[in-house]
Amino acid sequence: MIEVDELGKTYPGADTPALQGVTFRVPEGSVFGLLGPNGAGKSTLIGIVLGLIRADRGSVRVDGADTHGGAVRPAVIGMVPQEPAFYPSLTVRENLEIFAAVRGFRGRSRADELARVADIARLGEHMRASAGRLSGGLKRRLSLAIGLLGSPRVLCLDEPTTGVDPQSRRFILESVEALAADRGITVIYASHYMEEVQDLCDHLAILDQGRLLCTGAMADVLGRQQRSLALRFPAPPGRGQLEALADAFLVVDAAGDTVSLDIGDPLAALPTLAGLLRDNDLRPESFHYGEQDLEALFLRLTGRQLRD
Amino acid sequence: MTLPAALIRKEFLLLLRDRQALALLFLLPVVFILIMSLAMQGSLRMGGSTVEEVLVTDASDSSASRALVRALGRAERFGITSLPASSAADAQARLRARIERGEARIGVFVPSGFERALGRQAAPADAHVPVVYYAPALLPEVRRTFTLIAEAALERVRVSRVLDQAVGRHLPDGVAQADGGGLRLRERVAHAGGGEPTIPSAVQHSVPAWLVFSMFFVVAPIAASLIVERDQGTQRRLQQMGAPPLWLLGSRLVPYYLVNMVQLVLMLAVGVFLVPLAGGERLDPGSSYIGLWLIGSAVSLAAVGLALLIAAVSRTVVQATLSGGVFCLIIGALGGIMVPKAVMPPAMQQLTHVSPMSWGLEGFWDILLRYGQWQDVLPEAAMLAAFGAVSWALAALAAGRRRY
């Protein structure tokens, strides 16, 4: 179990905090998604979890031990950072050997560990290749293999699929899934790809501008969305018509000819809604109840598209 | 393989993989030192406003010796400082010791029998002839200039003496003729090695300077490699995996120390073998290879330490390479590498003591000019090693702080 409590961080010289009052729990063995746009605070949060960045306030505990102050051994947590984070002029094997030695592997055990992580990342046939000449996908796999050295119990991945081809992306997602399912590794997966997080993760936290917007199990978080009703009209509604709808319901989104409303209990809301549509001469072409995706959730929480 | 061994191996591999950069690290200093040695050998001249201090011990204390000192004092750019002469032998030894210690670069000793020797027709005994002591670090051009001035002054005093005698005021028997007797100065280089070595050539002066400067060439590549490692996230990953910043930085020391040692051997070899082939004077490598190794190692430690510090305070590769290069130029200029200390104004000469390159230069001069032994380079080597260690510690502190 990873416990993040009241985490706050402001970088020297920055006007706004990178993180403020962030609190959530990561259950053991879960694939936990950290979702948010660039600058939301995901990398800072991961840096604090890894013990590389010092928080101004709050704490991160892994099984009760604070990640700062040396209570958590480095081998407990593995990282797959956004950048390549290996030596391009060295071969795949040389890179793995160096990082394995830093992890404390010697002699025969090092060779075994190299074979193990190379097998997971399917790097076997590329061991002699220069790391700098690998394709983008293979580079990510090498980075993943380095992160897995020493069998960490927690693996933090920061935007691991950015800039990779669909095939490699699929491979990384499947590998992460398998690591959690087969080896019981707790995964913290930071991304701004909502569909990825939705497919892969069983828990998540949504961050924006350093604040935690929502957190919990994926099913619970998306379940809260089911109160949303999207109405599509032949033409965009007028201002007066929108104001009439907004007087009765929370307008989640109004873009073009589609308006999404938070209607709460649908059975109770329908008579009011029907009267409103009739009185304001609004005739929807179609409607969709319960948008079950993170994009709509993020929009609802922030009023912005994730990739704004 | 232990953690330090793994990190050092990593540095070796990275260095060996970039063969072009490695070749440049060896080739550039060789070309550089060859060109500078040949180009500088005839170009060392006295600076415009510099006054070279000349220590004078007048054991003769006669009218002739006083006339000689007055004549020397009239020379431009040389300032006479008279020392008391209690007993002749002791005074001469003390004067020589002061030149050896570098308190001044020129010393003139006028022996007690000088006036009598001046009046004799026969060639005088060595013991009665004035001696000029030169510090090895004195530029050859300055030495030659002073020798000419001193010989002219001596000749003037002798001629005056002969003329006095000729007009019969103090005419004794056996008067010396103006063209006879040939009273020549004795030139000595006062250095710790003893003996009577040859006067140092311009190559002997310039090679150590450019050698020190070239050893600092490693600053830019080390600093840049650290910034690249940081930008690529590799340093964060290594730190997260448990590698302490002190080791991450220190792993550079071993490979680049070896690079510096190869540079040292190559550059000395150029001075000894290649410069004479190209028409220049041969470098005399001195008599203490241990001393050369000691001071070379200390310069290397200082250069690597400086590189680590520059990398720690730089944010980009451009910043690191630029500040590394410019900083080396500044401490080179300040340390008497670009402009010989001897031609600097006195205030600037004092300022040279703050530059690590000046410490390195003095250390190499201890061996190559003063013909000292390894013990003689210990003060400079200690200062350079301390500079390197402090820089390394500050860099590790800054790297640790980068955790925000």
Q: Per residue, what are the HEC states of A250-279? A: EEEEEECCEEEEECCCHHHHHHHHHHHHHH
Higher pLDDT, B18 or B258: B258
Average pLDDT over residues B303-310: 93
Predicted pLDDT at B93: 86
Residue with tokens 């119990």, as numbered in its chain: A153
Interface of A with B in 105-124 (CB under 8 A): 106, 110
| A89/B14 Cβ within 8 A | yes
**Both structure tokens of B237:** 């990953």
- Distance from first CA to last CA of chain B, Å, rounded? 31
Verify whether the Cβ–Cβ distance A85 to B233 is below 8 Å: yes
Report the pLDDT value the prediction gives residue B135, as an integer from 0 to 100.
Answer: 86
Does B179 have pLDDT greater than 60? no
pLDDT band at B153 (very low <50, low <70, confident <90, very high): confident
A197, A288 contact by CB (below 8 A): no
Contact A81 B14 (CB under 8 A): no
Sheet with A65-66, strands from edge to edge, namely A19-26, A2-9, A57-62, A65-66
C-alpha distances out from residue B336 to A106, A173, B385, Å? 49, 61, 20
A contacts of B233 (beta carbons < 8 Å)? 81-85
Rounded average pLDDT over B210-229 = 90
What are the two backbone dihedrals, phi and then psi, of residue B82, each rounded to the nearest 5 degrees? -85, 135
Candidate from A36-45, A160-169, B153-162, B255-264 with smallest mean pLDDT: B153-162
B51-60, B157-166, B381-390: which has the highest mean pLDDT?
Answer: B381-390
Count of positions (residues) in chain B:
404
The answer to whether A54 contacts B403, with C-beta atoms less than 8 Å apart, is: yes
Between A302 and B70, the higher pLDDT residue? B70
Q: Is pLDDT at B212 greater than 90 in this prediction?
A: yes
CA separation, residue B371 to residues B195, B202, B340 (Å): 10, 16, 20
Neighbouring C-beta atoms of residue B162, cutoff 10 Å: 18
Distance from CA of B244 to the nearest CA of A (A): 10
> How far, CA to CA in Å, does B246 sit from each of A78, A104, A201, B3, B389?
22, 17, 38, 12, 11
What does the pLDDT look like over B367-400, one tens digit per residue? 988 888 899 999 999 999 999 999 999 988 887 6
A2-209 belongs to which CATH class? alpha beta
Considering only the beta carbons, identify the residue of B5, B7, B241 that sits closest to A103.
B241
Higher-confidence residue: A282 or B194?
A282
Query: What whole-number distance in Å separates Cα of residue B35 and Cα of residue B30?
Result: 9
Cα–Cα distances in angstroms (integers) from residue A157 to residues A1, A182, A203, in the given order? 17, 18, 15
Provide DSSP, chain A: -EEEEEEEE--TT-SS-SEEEEEEEE-TT-EEEEE--TTSSHHHHHHHHTTSS--SEEEEEETTEESSSS-S-GGGEEEE-SS--S-TTSBHHHHHHHHHHHTT--HHHHHHHHHHHHHHTT-GGGTTSBGGGS-HHHHHHHHHHHHHTT--SEEEEESTTTT--HHHHHHHHHHHHHHHHHH--EEEEEES-HHHHHHH-SEEEEEETTEEEEEEEHHHHHHGGGGEEEEE-SSPPPHHHHHHHHHHSEEEEEETTEEEEE-SSHHHHHHHHHHHHHHTT---SEEEE---SHHHHHHHHHSS-TT-
Q: Which residues in chain B have Cβ-Cβ distances shorter than 8 Å to A88?
A: 232
**What would the mean pLDDT of B342-350 be, rounded to a whole number?**
78
Q: Tell which wins on pLDDT, B281 or B227.
A: B227
The whole-angstrom separation of Cα A274 and Cα A283 is: 10
Whether residue B1 and residue A101 make contact (CB cut-off 8 A), yes or no, is yes
Smallest Cα distance from B392 to chain A, Å: 21
What is the spatial distance between Cα B214 and Cα B90, in angstroms, rounded to a whole number? 43
User: Across the interface, do B403 and A74 touch by the CB < 8 Å criterion?
Assistant: no
Tokens 């592997």 locate to A105
Residue in B5, B13, B231 nearest the CB of A90: B13
d(CA A267, CA A269): 5
Closest partner residue to B237 (CB to CB) among A75, A81, A101 is A81
Give me the tens of pLDDT residue by residue for chain A, a chain 308 residues long.
899 999 999 998 888 999 999 999 999 999 999 998 888 899 899 999 988 888 999 999 988 788 776 656 777 899 999 888 999 999 999 999 999 999 999 989 999 999 999 999 999 999 999 999 998 889 999 999 999 999 999 999 998 888 788 888 888 899 999 999 988 899 999 988 888 888 899 999 999 889 998 888 888 777 755 567 888 899 999 989 988 988 888 776 777 788 888 787 778 888 999 999 999 999 998 887 765 577 777 776 776 655 54
Of A151-165, A255-269, B146-160, B180-194, the least confident: B180-194
CB contact under 8 A, A101 and B5: yes
Instruction: Return d(Cα B173, Cα B158) in angstroms, integer.
Output: 17
- CATH 1.10.260.40 assigned to domain B52-189? The reply is no
How many pairs of residues across A and B have Cβ atoms under 8 Å apart? 86
Query: Taking 70 as the threshold, does the pLDDT of residue B180 lie above it?
Result: no
Q: Which of residues 59-98 of A touch B (CB under 8 A)?
A: 73-75, 77, 79, 81-90, 94, 97-98
What DSSP designation does B131 have? E
Amino acid identity for residue A256 in this structure: G
Range of weakest confidence among A272-281, B178-187, B213-222, B384-393? B178-187
Q: Hey, what are A213's tokens?
A: 């917007």
What ipTM, to 2 d.p.?
Answer: 0.77
Copy the structure tokens of residue B343.
């031609």
**Closest chain A residue to B12 measured between Cα atoms?**
A90
Average pLDDT over residues B291-314: 94
Domain boundaries, chain B: 3-41+201-401, 52-189
CA-based nearest distance B397→chain A, Å: 15
Domain edges within chain A: 2-209, 224-302
Residue A57 C-alpha, separation from nearest chain B C-alpha, in angstroms: 13
Residue B385 φ then ψ, to 5°: -65, -40
Which has the minimum average pLDDT: A231-245, B32-46, B107-121? B32-46
pLDDT interval class at B173 (50, 70, 90):
very low
Measured CA to CA in angstroms, residue B323 lies from B298, B311, B312, B327 at distances of: 22, 9, 12, 6
Position B197 scores a pLDDT of 45
Mutate to test the interface with A, among B7, B226, B237, B315 (most CBs of A within 10 A): B237
pLDDT at B44: 47
3-state secondary structure of B186: strand
CA distances from A93 to A121, A125, B239 (A): 13, 11, 20
Cα distance from N-terminal residue to C-terminal residue, chain A: 33
Question: Which residues in chain B are contacts of A99 at CB distance < 8 A?
Answer: 237-238, 241
- Which chain A residue's Cα is nearest to B235? A85
Tell whether the model's pLDDT for residue B262 goes beyond 50. Answer: yes
Q: Which of A75, A83, A94 sits opposite B233 (nearest CB)?
A: A83
| pLDDT value at residue A130 | 95
Q: Extract the tokens encoding B225.
A: 């490699």
The C-alpha angle A196, A200, A202, rounded to 5 degrees, equals 125
Give the separation between CA B117 and CA B68, rounded to whole angstroms: 14
Best mutation site among A43, A89, A98, A149 for testing chain B: the one with the most B CBs within 10 Å? A98
Q: Is the dihedral of CA B317, B211, B145, B103 positive or negative?
A: positive
In angstroms, the CA B363 to CA B295 distance is 6
Report the share of chain A in percent with pLDDT over 70.
92
Chain A: residue nearest B5 by CA?
A101
The confidence score (pLDDT) of residue A205 equals: 93
Torsion of CA A105, A107, A109, A111, to 10 degrees: 100
The amino acid that residue A290 corresponds to is G
On whether the CB atoms of residues B380 and B199 are closer than 8 A, the answer is: no
User: Which residues have C-beta within 8 Å of that of residue B151, sequence separation ≥ 6?
Assistant: B184, B185
Q: How far apart are CA B133 and CA A162, in angstroms?
A: 74
Better-predicted residue by pLDDT, B212 or B315: B212
Query: What is A224-302's CATH topology?
Result: Alpha-Beta Plaits (3.30.70)
Nearest to B243 among A12, A73, A102 (CB): A102
pLDDT at B404 over 50: no
| Neighboring chain B residues of A45 at a CB cutoff of 8 Å | none
A103 touches chain B (CB under 8 A): yes
| pLDDT for the residue numbered A115 | 95
Measured in whole angstroms, how far is the alpha carbon of residue B291 from the centre of its chain?
A: 14
Given an 8 Å threshold on Cβ–Cβ distance, is A11 in contact with B404? yes
- Cite the beta strand spans of B99-175 per DSSP E: 106-110, 131-134
Q: How many CB atoms are closer than 10 A to CB A233? A: 17
For residue B6, which residues of chain A lie inside 8 Å, CB to CB? Answer: 97-98, 101-102
Interface contact B6-A98, CB threshold 8 A:
yes
